[in-house]
Amino acid sequence: MGKIAALIVAGGRGERAGGGVAKQYRPLLGKPVLSWTVDAFRDADPVQVVIGADDSAAFEAAMSGRKILAPATGGPNRQESVRLGLEALAAHSPEFVLIHDAARPLASSALIARVKDALHSGAEAVVPVLPVTDALKRREENGLPAVSRDGLFRAQTPQGFRFDAILAAHRAQRGREAVDDIAIAENAGMKITTVAGDERNLKITAAEDFALAESLMGGQFRTGMGLDAHRFGPGDHVWLCGLKIPHSAGLIGHSDADAGLHALTDAILGAIGSGDIGQHFPPTDERWRGASSDKFLKHASDLVTKAGGSVVHCDVTLICEAPKVSPHREAMRKRIAEILNLDVSRVSVKATTTEGMGFTGRREGIAAQAVATIRLPA
C-alpha cells in the first residue's frame, strides 16, 4: 500500500471562538487543540501542517517533540492554504493524502480508517458524511417554511484523495472558489465516494464548543505520585522545578539533582505504570551525569503522549527550610507548563518547611513530593 500523508489546515484565526489566541492553539484538556489534531494522525506519513504567518511560535510550542514536517505558511484563504500545503508535500511523493481541519481535534482512529480503507479500495476522493436529523427551515418574509432534508447530508473532514489528482485539481482551480476539497475534486471530474462520518468529530467554531469537546473526549483519568530527596553539598546554586536558584549550597546528585522535577517525573511514570526514573535513566549511566532534568520530565510526558494520553494536571510540593521558594513559584509553574506543553493553570508548585524537624529541618537537603493526573483514551 502506498504512503498516506496527512495535511492539517491550521491557517485560520478562528475569531468566533474568542479568546484572542487562534482557536487551534487554545488548550483543550490541557493541551493545544492542534496537538490533539496532529496526534490523531500519528500513523500518517508524513504529516504536514499549514499555519498562519504569525503563528510560528505557537506552532513550535504546540508541536514540541512531535515528528512532523516543518510547517508550510498558509495563503489568504483556506483553499490557497490547502494548495500550498499540497505543494509542500509533493517533494515526499505520497500516494494518498488526508486533508483535515485543525479545528476538528476529535477525529477518531475508526473514522480515519474508514477514509483510508476507501482509498485503498480504489476510491479517488472520499468524504465522511452524516445525515441531517434536525428539521430545516428557511427564514422568509412571511414565515419559516420547511426545507426538505431529502438528499441532504453534512460533510466532514478528513477528506481523502489520490495525491497527484487533488494537487493537479487545486493547481488548475486557483482563484475559483470552492467550499471544500471535495468540491475541488468534483469540479475536476474525480469520482466522489462517501463513508460514514462521526457525530463526535466536532468542528470547534464557537467558544462554547471547547466545553462540549472536552465532555465528548471523556477518557479515563489516572493519578500517580512521586517522592525524591537530594542532599546539600558544596556549591552556590540549586536546580528546583527547572530553575537555577542561587543558594549558599548546591545539591548532590548524578544529574542536576532537581528534586522537584524528579518527583514529578516519577508521578507521571507512576500514572502510566511505567516504573521509576532510575529505571529509565540509571544513575550508573554516564550519559546522565550532570543532565538537565527537564529531559527526564519530557521523556515521561512523551510516554504518555505515545499511549494516546496527556498530562492534565500536576502538583509539586517542595520541602525545605531554604532557599525560599515563594519568589520563584510562578516562574517554576511556567517552566513546568512549558516542558509538559500544559496550560499554567494546570500546574501547581507549593512549598513547606518541616518546622526544624527531620533531615529537611536540619537543612541537610531538599525533598519534593508530586502528584500527576493524566488522561488516557477510553
Q: Which residues lie near Mg ion (CB under 5 A)?
A: 228, 262
Give the residue with the Cβ less far from Mg ion, 228 or 294: 228
Nearest to 273 by CA among 298, 229, 307, 241: 307
Give the residue with the Cβ less far from Mg ion, 129 or 227: 227
Give the residue with the Cβ less far from Mg ion, 51 or 261: 261
Give the residue with the Cβ less far from Mg ion, 78 or 262: 262
Q: What is the DSSP string of 80-101?
A: HHHHHHHHHHHTT--SEEEEEE
Closest-by-Cβ residue to Mg ion is 262
Nearest to 114 by CA among 194, 221, 22, 178: 194
Residues 6+ positions from 122 with CB-CB distance below 8 Å = none
H helix runs in the chain, sequence order: 33-40, 56-62, 78-90, 109-120, 163-172, 181-187, 209-217, 259-271, 277-280, 294-306, 329-340, 358-361
Bridge partners, 316 (sequence order): 349, 370
CB of 245 to Mg ion, least distance (A): 16
Task: Give the Cα-Cα-Cα angle 351, 356, 361 (nearest 5 degrees).
Answer: 65
Contact 85, 95 (CB under 8 A): no
Give the residue with the Cβ less far from Mg ion, 86 or 229: 229
Residues 6+ positions from 360 with CB-CB distance below 8 Å = 229, 319, 320, 321, 353, 354, 366, 367
Give the residue with the Cβ less far from Mg ion, 124 or 228: 228
Give the residue with the Cβ less far from Mg ion, 35 or 301: 301
CB of 368 to Mg ion, least distance (A): 9
Distance CA 71, CA 198 (A): 28
CB of 256 to Mg ion, least distance (A): 9
List the grid coordinates of 20: 484572542
Give the residue with the Cβ less far from Mg ion, 92 or 299: 299
CB of 274 to Mg ion, least distance (A): 17
